Structure 1
Amino acid sequence: MLDRRHAFQVGLATLGLLLIAAPLDAFAQAKPPVKVRYTEVVRSILYAPAYVAIANGYFKDAGLDVAMMTAQGGDKTVAALLSNSADIALIGPETSIYVQNGDSPTKIPIFCGLTVTDGFMLIGREKVDKFDWQQLKGKQILALRPGSTPDLFLEAALRQNGIDPFKDVKLVNNVAIPARVGSWLAGQNQYAIFMDPDAAQLEMDGKGYVLASIGQTVGPADYTTFMATDKYIRANPDVIQSWTNAIYQAQKWTEAAQPQEIAKTIEQFFPGISPQALVAGAERYRKLKMWKTTPAIDPKAIERFQDILVQGNVLDPAKRVKFQDLVLSEFATKAR
């Protein structure tokens, strides 16, 4: 009888502990994720770690419910931030610099890095054994919007190889991003710049040949970064830190993964692109070391970036922005 009473008392005690613990656990599980409206400038394998953060659940584990859209242009991406139709954007640092020097009371600081340099490839219509930049003289090059990061980096690469981008070649800047591949396939222009997977797909289809890497030519310059409005960052520092943490996890995974594994993980974001092109693009970007391994922004790279803007006559040397006014480093420093 005593044993039965003891067992009954132990059972009640255990049940009490479960009833106490259960509501706490249920509360933790019921805590809703924070919705984040995320806009990327374009779709490219260059941004693979961002897709990995979605596909592998790093954002979800960080308590973020991410809704992604593709703006198809830097101007559209920054407009989304300033109009409050996006919370976080992936875009070139030039936009943050332009806004910092502009009249808008709202600024868009950078808080997390993603890519080391430009991911565009110079494509030609004919395969050559040894490419010489001088071969471009007198030719047309399908570029992007004037003043955009890809256009400015292309101009910098041309200058570094003794070519005046305004006198020696014709940069074609009036083709919208979604129409660029179609324009090339229609036979327009002798050369073009494309990112992967477009560059890899064109090569596989025999419609173009990679001649040079723009980013490798220009060097490190923190080409693409995450930013948000200063107002959003002040109101949501935990979200910004969680985002940076998730990206850091994705960067570490991407650094360790094989190109085939990267391609398989991100293929859902590239419908209609062959798996072989995804693998080729991932292999190329890994070989060129295009992906940052931490979210930290390098001050020297930002200085190099502003050098390119000055050379491109889109930034007055007197209006160079100080690193501390452009980049909020604390989130990358605390990333885990």
Structure 2
Amino acid sequence: MRRKSTAALLVLLLLAGAVLGGCGKDAGGGKTKLTVGEVTRSIFYAPQYVALSKGFFEDEGLEVDLVSTFGGDKTMTALLSGNIDIGLVGSETSIYVAQQGAKDPVINFAQLTQTDGTFLVSREAVNGFDWNDLKGSNFLGQRKGGMPQMAGEFTLKKKGIDPKTDLKLIQNVDFANIPAAFASGTGDYVQLFEPQASIFEKEGRGHVIASFGAESGHLPYTVYMSKQSFLKKNKTAAESFVKAVHRAQIWVEQHSAEEIAKVIKPYFEDADMDIVVTVVNRYKSQGSYASDPIIDESEWNNLLDVMEAAGELKERVEHSKLVDNSFAEQVLK
């Protein structure tokens, strides 16, 4: 999220959100309809598509309408304005809203992914990679203020690299255009999400040499969140939603990358099956998919550390103020 470009919009939406408080809608047949906005369509969110494909939400009396909102700021806009009931987006967005003085804060209530989802891709093949190899290079990073870039810079600093002085950091490329920019010759290294990283590797355009998710540690990277007022009014629906998500998390843990890929493939019709399998296996093997919906305080504090290091945090926000684990805890009982 671009803090400066969205701050004024968030203020207006906070005022609107106080009036529009959403609610679960009767979908008929005794089911409650929930509109869920995902920040993007990504194999990174495999458990969500498992829950949809396997009918876990329906089993819990829910009809879930999934829409892609294409960006953290747009997801939060839709949530605050009442166009969606639940957002799937990075926890940092709820902190940005809180920093604007929200009277109806956005609450994180179920975690889906617990690591960053980007990888370090080099243009040339590298034998025996060392992070110091990045010094003096042209590094094509993610956009400033977004969680991928913050996790990327956090990792670089952990490795003794100053992103501002030790390399040329390129941040002026829009998220959607980063793969194309690298393919056209921009940067010696690039920070990429899947499936672009695996596609480049398959095509011989790049080589995956490190994982920012593995290096930056556990944090509430992608989380289901909603306005506090919505959760108070729709406790049963929220708990049913979390129960379905957790069933999917268990299913993903117990099945192979090939089995998972087959179930979620309908959500990625244009993707090659072998790429979907590769990506699922990569995320699964490094523990990116959360095994339960609990948002741990230690993970939350790691997120604050990452944001603080990036200069994107006005003040630290206590875990208890923006996280409600009560639904997850009830489900785990």
TM-score (norm 2): 0.88
1:330 paired to 2:332? no
Q: Could you report, residue by residue, the CA deviation over 1:126-145 in whole angstroms, capped at 9, with x for unpaired residues?
A: 11111111222232322222
**Runs of 4+ displaced beyond 4 Å:** none
CA distance, structure 2, for counterparts of residue 223 and residue 117 of structure 1 = 6
What pairs with 1:1-336 in structure 2 (closer than 5 Å)?
31-316=29-314, 319-335=315-331
Quote the sequence identity (%).
36
Alpha-carbon distance change, 101 to 84 in structure 1, aligned in 2, over 3 angstroms: same
Q: How many angstroms does 1:30 deviate by?
A: 6.3
CA distance, structure 2, for counterparts of residue 138 and residue 296 of structure 1 = 41
SS in 1 for 2:49: helix
Q: How many angstroms does 1:100 deviate by?
A: 1.6
Q: Residue 140 of structure 1 aligns to which amino acid in structure 2?
A: N
Q: How many angstroms does 1:56 deviate by?
A: 0.8
SS in 2 for 1:244: helix
Rg bigger for which structure?
A: 1
Q: How many angstroms does 1:33 deviate by?
A: 2.2
How many residues are paired up?
A: 306
Alpha-carbon distance change, 83 to 170 in structure 1, aligned in 2, over 3 angstroms: farther
Alpha-carbon distance change, 163 to 247 in structure 1, aligned in 2, over 3 angstroms: same
SS in 2 for 1:315: coil
TM-score (norm 1): 0.87
Q: How many angstroms does 1:334 deviate by?
A: 1.0
Q: How many angstroms does 1:244 deviate by?
A: 0.3
CA distance, structure 1, for counterparts of residue 289 and residue 83 of structure 2 = 28
- Name stretches of at least 5 consecutive residues in structure 1 with no aligned partner: 1-28
Contact kept in structure 1, 2:105 and 2:322, CA below 8 Å: no
Q: How many angstroms does 1:230 deviate by?
A: 1.1
Q: Could you report, residue by residue, the CA deviation over 1:133-188 in whole angstroms, capped at 9, with x for unpaired residues?
A: 12222323222221111010000010011111122223333333332322222222
Task: Tell me what 1:13 maps to.
Answer: none
SS in 1 for 2:128: coil
Alpha-carbon distance change, 301 to 81 in structure 1, aligned in 2, over 3 angstroms: same
Q: Could you report, residue by residue, the CA deviation over 1:26-76 in whole angstroms, capped at 9, with x for unpaired residues?
A: xxx962422211111122222110111111111111122212122222111
The structure that is strand-richer by fraction is: 2
Q: How many angstroms does 1:252 deviate by?
A: 0.3
CA distance, structure 1, for counterparts of residue 67 and residue 138 of structure 2 = 32
Q: RMSD in angstroms over aligned alpha carbons?
A: 1.6
SS in 1 for 2:113: coil
SS in 2 for 1:109: strand
Q: How many angstroms does 1:211 deviate by?
A: 1.1
Contact kept in structure 2, 1:143 and 1:172, CA below 8 Å: yes
CA distance, structure 2, for counterparts of residue 273 and residue 182 of structure 1 = 17
